[in-house]
Amino acid sequence: MPGLDVGDRLVMPGVVDCHVHVNEPGRITWEGYWTATRAAAAGGVTTIVDMPLNSIPPTTTLSNFQEKMKAATGQCFVDTAFWGGVIPDNQLELRPMIQAGVAGFKCFLIQQVGWMSSHT
């Protein structure tokens, strides 16, 4: 395997940030994919994973997941993945989201109150 002489420069692996709240397309005053992924790249992050629940739309259905992927298309400076959200009564959405490419699922194992319980 050939080596690469980088002189006195430091070579580091890229960082994966698996807890990022990107709020596009729903909240136009919050950070979107263009800004979030550009900032991530500037900081050495090569992959972000978007959190599913505190966003509009929440990633709890296949159609919401597709809407978020569409919003991210052409806007990302780093690899971008998405968590799906498990909420009461969305069990039938999980397999279609897996087949469409969610990285995994976030769920709360305690009773949810406030904003966390309003993502149905």
Q: Looking at residue 28, what is its pLDDT? A: 78
CA neighbor of 53 nearest in space, from 83, 18, 91:
83
In a domain, 62, yes or no: yes
Please enumerate in sequence order all residues whose Cβ is within 8 A of that of 74, keeping only pairs 6 or more positions apart, or say none: none
**Rounded-to-integer distance, Cα 86 and Cα 94, Å:** 8
Sheet arrangement for strand 45-50: 15-20, 45-50, 79-85, 104-106
Q: Confirm whether 74 is domain-assigned.
A: yes
55: in domain? yes
Q: Print the domain residue range for 27.
A: 15-118
**pLDDT at position 104 over 70:** yes
Q: What is the percentage of the chain residues whose pLDDT exceeds 70?
A: 92
Does residue 34 form part of some domain?
A: yes
Total domain count for the chain? 1
Each residue's pLDDT tens digit, 76-103 = 999 999 999 999 899 999 999 999 999 9
At residue 50, what are phi and psi to the nearest 5 degrees?
-75, 130
User: What average pLDDT does this structure show over 55-84?
Assistant: 97
Quote the pLDDT of residue 112. Answer: 64
In a domain, 71, yes or no: yes
1 occurs within a structural domain: no
pTM of the complete model: 0.82
